[in-house]
Amino acid sequence: MIKKIAVTGHTAGLGKSFFDLLTQQGHHVVGFSRSNGYDIRDYSVVSKIIKEINGFDLFINNAKPDYVQSQIVYRLARDWNGTVLSIGSIVVVNPPNWTDTFLLEYVTQKTALAHAHQVLEKVAKCKLVLVNPEHIQDKDQCAKNILESIAL
């Protein structure tokens, strides 16, 4: 069965791996990134994306500017019916001993995403899935493993 899937950050890194793999599998995949006019740091753009994914089966919440991943989870949990797959990080499970404030901000953003999933899990209208990959060596294999873990 062909699924309708949206991916944020689909032009590089893990998002590109998701986009390419799912497209190769024959799914209808739409990417949202700055390269095609969807800067998700703009709240109105997030609203536009949410309207455009009406009827989609899966939203891969991959791109991480600021706290947007958490905001997207809260917005989709209200009334969207698909599955939200958020890409977290192992740093939430095993916090490193970092002292660099840029890296600590990353930990804080990923912790906020994990918290959003935790508090919305029982009340969300959509299915919420959070994965926390370790440092990624092979992005294509990581994407494949994540999709297999959610039976897609």
**What pLDDT is recorded for position 134?**
83
Residue numbers of the domain that contains 122:
4-149
DSSP one-letter string for 82-115? SEEEEE--GGGTS------HHHHHHHHHHHHHHH
- The token pair that represents 71 in the structure block: 């905001």
Check: CB of residue 21 under 8 Å from CB of residue 147.
yes
Contact present, 64 and 41 (Cβ < 8 Å): no
What pLDDT score was predicted for residue 9? 95
The residues, ordered by sequence, that sit 6+ positions from 144 with a Cβ below 8 Å of its Cβ are 17, 21
Q: 109 is written with which tokens?
A: 């953003």
**C-alpha span between 82 and 71 (Å, rounded):** 17
Amino acid sitting at position 137:
Q
Q: What is the DSSP letter of 75?
A: H
Q: Domain with 60 in it: what CATH number? A: 3.40.50.720
- Number of domains into which the chain is organized: 1
Burial 46-69 (b: 16+ CB within 10 A, else e): beebbeebeebbbbbbbbbeebbb
pLDDT in tens, the chain (152 residues): 789 999 999 999 999 999 999 999 999 999 999 999 999 999 999 999 999 999 999 999 999 888 999 999 999 999 999 999 999 998 888 888 888 888 889 899 999 999 999 999 999 999 999 999 987 889 999 999 999 998 87
